[in-house]
Structure 1
Amino acid sequence: MPEISRFFGIVIAMFYDDHAPPHFHVRYGNQKAIVGIEPLGLLEGKLSPRVLSLVMEWAARHQSELMDNWQRAERYAPLKPIPPLE
Protein backbone atom coordinates (compact mmCIF):
# COMPACT_ATOMS: atom_id res chain seq x y z
CA MET A 1 0.00 0.00 0.00
CA PRO A 2 1.85 3.11 -1.20
CA GLU A 3 1.98 5.85 1.40
CA ILE A 4 1.11 9.25 -0.05
CA SER A 5 1.20 11.40 3.09
CA ARG A 6 1.95 11.28 6.80
CA PHE A 7 1.22 13.86 9.49
CA PHE A 8 0.79 13.79 13.28
CA GLY A 9 1.27 10.00 13.19
CA ILE A 10 -1.56 9.61 10.65
CA VAL A 11 -0.64 7.56 7.57
CA ILE A 12 -2.52 8.12 4.30
CA ALA A 13 -2.20 5.48 1.58
CA MET A 14 -3.80 4.15 -1.60
CA PHE A 15 -3.85 0.69 -3.14
CA TYR A 16 -3.23 0.10 -6.83
CA ASP A 17 -6.31 -1.10 -8.73
CA ASP A 18 -8.57 -0.70 -5.68
CA HIS A 19 -12.36 -0.93 -5.90
CA ALA A 20 -14.65 2.07 -6.54
CA PRO A 21 -15.68 4.56 -5.26
CA PRO A 22 -12.45 6.63 -5.22
CA HIS A 23 -11.02 6.55 -1.71
CA PHE A 24 -7.89 6.44 0.43
CA HIS A 25 -6.88 4.46 3.49
CA VAL A 26 -6.05 5.96 6.89
CA ARG A 27 -4.04 4.37 9.70
CA TYR A 28 -3.41 5.89 13.10
CA GLY A 29 -2.13 3.47 15.71
CA ASN A 30 -4.77 0.73 15.91
CA GLN A 31 -7.38 2.88 14.14
CA LYS A 32 -8.09 2.20 10.46
CA ALA A 33 -10.56 3.71 8.04
CA ILE A 34 -11.41 4.20 4.39
CA VAL A 35 -12.35 7.73 3.34
CA GLY A 36 -14.18 8.59 0.10
CA ILE A 37 -12.72 11.37 -2.05
CA GLU A 38 -15.77 12.63 -3.96
CA PRO A 39 -17.74 13.29 -1.87
CA LEU A 40 -15.44 13.40 1.14
CA GLY A 41 -16.73 11.08 3.82
CA LEU A 42 -15.97 8.13 6.05
CA LEU A 43 -16.83 4.94 4.13
CA GLU A 44 -15.60 2.26 6.49
CA GLY A 45 -13.84 1.88 9.81
CA LYS A 46 -13.63 4.24 12.74
CA LEU A 47 -11.36 7.11 13.71
CA SER A 48 -11.41 9.19 16.86
CA PRO A 49 -13.15 12.55 16.34
CA ARG A 50 -9.81 14.43 16.51
CA VAL A 51 -8.12 12.19 13.91
CA LEU A 52 -11.16 12.24 11.62
CA SER A 53 -11.26 16.03 11.81
CA LEU A 54 -7.57 16.30 10.87
CA VAL A 55 -7.95 13.81 8.01
CA MET A 56 -11.01 15.61 6.60
CA GLU A 57 -9.30 19.00 6.83
CA TRP A 58 -6.26 17.60 4.99
CA ALA A 59 -8.41 15.83 2.36
CA ALA A 60 -10.48 18.95 1.67
CA ARG A 61 -7.27 20.88 0.96
CA HIS A 62 -5.94 18.14 -1.36
CA GLN A 63 -9.06 16.70 -2.98
CA SER A 64 -7.89 17.27 -6.57
CA GLU A 65 -4.48 15.72 -5.81
CA LEU A 66 -6.22 12.74 -4.23
CA MET A 67 -8.36 12.23 -7.35
CA ASP A 68 -5.24 12.52 -9.51
CA ASN A 69 -3.53 9.83 -7.44
CA TRP A 70 -6.66 7.64 -7.62
CA GLN A 71 -6.54 7.83 -11.41
CA ARG A 72 -2.80 7.09 -11.37
CA ALA A 73 -3.37 4.06 -9.13
CA GLU A 74 -5.97 2.70 -11.58
CA ARG A 75 -3.26 2.83 -14.28
CA TYR A 76 -0.54 1.44 -11.97
CA ALA A 77 1.36 4.71 -12.43
CA PRO A 78 3.57 6.03 -9.63
CA LEU A 79 1.62 7.94 -6.99
CA LYS A 80 2.64 11.46 -6.11
CA PRO A 81 3.31 12.42 -2.49
CA ILE A 82 0.85 14.95 -1.06
CA PRO A 83 2.06 17.54 1.46
CA PRO A 84 1.13 16.87 5.08
CA LEU A 85 -1.17 18.94 7.23
CA GLU A 86 0.90 21.45 9.18
Structure 2
Amino acid sequence: MPIITRFYGIIIKMYFNDHLPPHFHAIYGEYNGVFDINTLEMTEGDLPNRAVKLIREWAELHQNELMKIWEKKVFKKLDGLK
Protein backbone atom coordinates (compact mmCIF):
# COMPACT_ATOMS: atom_id res chain seq x y z
CA MET A 1 0.00 0.00 0.00
CA PRO A 2 1.73 3.21 -1.13
CA ILE A 3 2.27 5.95 1.44
CA ILE A 4 0.69 9.13 0.14
CA THR A 5 1.96 11.39 2.93
CA ARG A 6 3.14 11.64 6.53
CA PHE A 7 2.54 14.44 9.01
CA TYR A 8 2.51 14.76 12.81
CA GLY A 9 3.11 11.02 13.20
CA ILE A 10 0.15 10.18 10.93
CA ILE A 11 0.66 8.02 7.84
CA ILE A 12 -1.85 8.18 4.98
CA LYS A 13 -2.01 5.21 2.59
CA MET A 14 -4.26 4.01 -0.20
CA TYR A 15 -4.78 0.53 -1.60
CA PHE A 16 -5.45 0.37 -5.32
CA ASN A 17 -8.27 -1.95 -6.44
CA ASP A 18 -9.76 -1.78 -2.93
CA HIS A 19 -13.48 -1.96 -2.14
CA LEU A 20 -15.90 0.95 -2.61
CA PRO A 21 -16.59 3.64 -1.53
CA PRO A 22 -13.39 5.52 -2.43
CA HIS A 23 -11.33 5.78 0.75
CA PHE A 24 -7.89 6.08 2.29
CA HIS A 25 -6.29 4.57 5.37
CA ALA A 26 -4.72 6.52 8.23
CA ILE A 27 -2.33 5.09 10.79
CA TYR A 28 -1.29 6.86 13.97
CA GLY A 29 0.86 4.70 16.22
CA GLU A 30 -1.23 1.67 17.14
CA TYR A 31 -4.45 3.33 15.90
CA ASN A 32 -6.01 2.93 12.46
CA GLY A 33 -8.83 4.53 10.53
CA VAL A 34 -10.51 4.39 7.14
CA PHE A 35 -11.84 7.66 5.69
CA ASP A 36 -14.41 8.05 2.91
CA ILE A 37 -12.96 10.46 0.33
CA ASN A 38 -16.37 11.91 -0.57
CA THR A 39 -17.57 12.67 2.97
CA LEU A 40 -14.23 12.69 4.83
CA GLU A 41 -15.93 10.72 7.61
CA MET A 42 -14.06 7.96 9.40
CA THR A 43 -16.00 4.82 8.47
CA GLU A 44 -13.87 2.37 10.46
CA GLY A 45 -11.23 2.67 13.11
CA ASP A 46 -10.19 3.74 16.55
CA LEU A 47 -8.18 6.92 15.97
CA PRO A 48 -8.08 9.54 18.74
CA ASN A 49 -10.27 12.61 18.12
CA ARG A 50 -7.24 14.92 17.71
CA ALA A 51 -5.82 12.72 14.93
CA VAL A 52 -9.23 12.54 13.21
CA LYS A 53 -9.43 16.35 13.18
CA LEU A 54 -5.94 16.67 11.69
CA ILE A 55 -6.66 14.04 9.05
CA ARG A 56 -9.92 15.72 8.02
CA GLU A 57 -8.18 19.10 7.86
CA TRP A 58 -5.51 17.60 5.59
CA ALA A 59 -8.06 15.69 3.48
CA GLU A 60 -10.13 18.84 2.85
CA LEU A 61 -7.04 20.40 1.27
CA HIS A 62 -6.38 17.36 -0.93
CA GLN A 63 -9.85 15.89 -1.53
CA ASN A 64 -9.79 16.38 -5.32
CA GLU A 65 -6.28 14.94 -5.60
CA LEU A 66 -7.24 11.94 -3.46
CA MET A 67 -10.20 11.22 -5.73
CA LYS A 68 -7.96 11.43 -8.82
CA ILE A 69 -5.50 8.99 -7.24
CA TRP A 70 -8.37 6.61 -6.47
CA GLU A 71 -9.96 6.85 -9.93
CA LYS A 72 -6.78 6.71 -12.01
CA LYS A 73 -4.99 4.26 -9.68
CA VAL A 74 -1.80 6.25 -10.15
CA PHE A 75 0.32 6.83 -7.07
CA LYS A 76 1.17 10.42 -6.20
CA LYS A 77 2.81 11.83 -3.09
CA LEU A 78 0.92 14.71 -1.48
CA ASP A 79 2.18 17.36 0.91
CA GLY A 80 1.49 16.80 4.58
CA LEU A 81 -0.30 19.18 6.90
CA LYS A 82 1.89 22.11 7.92
The two structures have a TM-score, normalised by structure 1, of: 0.92
For these two proteins, the number of residue pairs brought into alignment is: 82
- 2:16 alignment counterpart: 16
Long gaps (5+) in structure 1: none
Distance (Å, rounded) in 2 between the aligned partners of 1:10 and 1:19: 22
Superposition misfits of 4+ residues, deviation over 6 angstroms: none
Q: Provide the secondary structure at the position in 1 that maps to 2:52.
A: helix
**In structure 1, distance between residues paired with 2:24 and 2:43:** 10
Q: Which amino acid aligns with 1:16?
A: F
TM, length-normalised to structure 2: 0.96
Any gaps of 5 or more consecutive residues in structure 2? none
Work out the CA distance in 1 between the residues paired with 2:62 and 2:55.
11
Deviation, 1:72, is 2.4
> Cα RMSD (Å) of the superposition?
0.7
In the alignment, structure 1 residue 60 sits paired with structure 2 residue 60: yes
What amino acid maps onto 1:32 in structure 2?
Answer: N
Identical columns (%): 44
Give, in whole Å, the separation in 1 of the partners of 2:23 and 2:46.
15
